[in-house]
Amino acid sequence: MVLQEAKKEFIAAWGSFGSNWGINRTMAQIHALLMISSEPISAEEVMDNLHISRGNANMNLRELINWGLVNRTILRGERKEFFTAEKDIFKVTRIIARERKKRELEPMLKFLESISHVEGDTNDKDIKTFTDTIAGIKKLGEQTDKSLDKLIKAEENWFWGTMIKLLS
C-alpha cells in the first residue's frame, strides 16, 4: 500500500472508531492526521486535508489542546500557528485516562456516593437490590479510579511491564 492511501484510511478509521466511543469524528480525525504527520501542520492544511471548514478545524483543534493531546507550535519565519500531536501511544493513553477519569469517573463516584444510602428497612427486597447494585458499581469504580491513578503516574516501563504481567 502507498503511504498516501494508508494515511487516508487510517484517518477515516480513527474517526469512526472515535465516534463509537463518544468522541466526535472530526476531532478524532484531526488527531489521527497530526499523529501520523512528521511535521507540524497549520489550520489551513488541516482544513484542506480533511475537507472541513475553518470554524470546525479551529474548534476541534482547541478541544484537542484542552485535552492535552495537541500542542501549538510557532515555526520560525511563519506567521501562522502550527500544530503537533503527541505520537507516543503510551503517553496518549495516559492523557486520555487522566482526562476521562477527571471528567467522568470522579463525578460518577461522587454521584454514586450521594445515592448509596436510602431510607427504609435494610432487609426490604427492593432496597437491598438497589443498594447492592449501587455498592457493586461503586466498588468497581473506586478500584478503577485507583488503577488509573497508577497508570497516569506510571513510567513507560511500568505500563508495558504490567500489560505483559496481565497476560502471563
Partner DNA sequence: TTTTTCTTTCAATAAATATTGAAAGTTTAG
Partner DNA sequence: CTAAACTTTCAATATTTATTGAAAGAAAAA
Residues found near DNA in the complex (CB under 7 A): 19, 24-26, 42-44, 51-56, 58-62, 78-81
22: left (phi over 0), alpha (psi -120 to 50) or beta: left
The site partner of 36 among DNA, its own copies, none (C-beta below 5 to 8 Å per kind) is its own copies
Question: Which residue, 72 or 128, is less far from DNA as judged by CB?
Answer: 72
> Residue written as cell 504490567?
162
Q: Identify which of 25, 34, 84, 30 has the alpha carbon closest to the alpha carbon of residue 58.
A: 30
- Stretch of 42-50, 59-67, 68-76, 84-92 contacting its own copies, by CB under 8 A: 84-92
- What letter would DSSP give residue 42? E
> Residue written as cell 511491564?
161
Strand ranges, E, within the chain: 41-42, 70-74, 81-85
The site partner of 87 among its own copies, DNA, none (C-beta below 5 to 8 Å per kind) is its own copies
> Residue written as cell 470522579?
106
Question: By CB under 8 A, is residue 113 in contact with its own copies?
Answer: no
Q: Which three cell numbers stand for residue 126?
A: 427492593
Q: C-beta of 40: minimal distance to DNA in Å?
A: 11
Amino acid in the structure at residue 16: S
Question: By CB under 8 A, is residue 155 in contact with its own copies?
Answer: no
User: What residues form DSSP beta bridges with 98?
Assistant: none
Total residues at interface with its own copies (CB under 8 A): 55
Q: Which three cell numbers stand for residue 130?
A: 438497589
Q: Would you tell me which residues interact with its own copies (CB under 8 A)? A: 1-3, 6-7, 9-10, 13, 17, 19-22, 35-38, 87-90, 93, 104, 108, 111, 114-115, 117-120, 125-130, 132-134, 136-137, 139-140, 143-144, 146-147, 150, 160, 162-164, 166-167
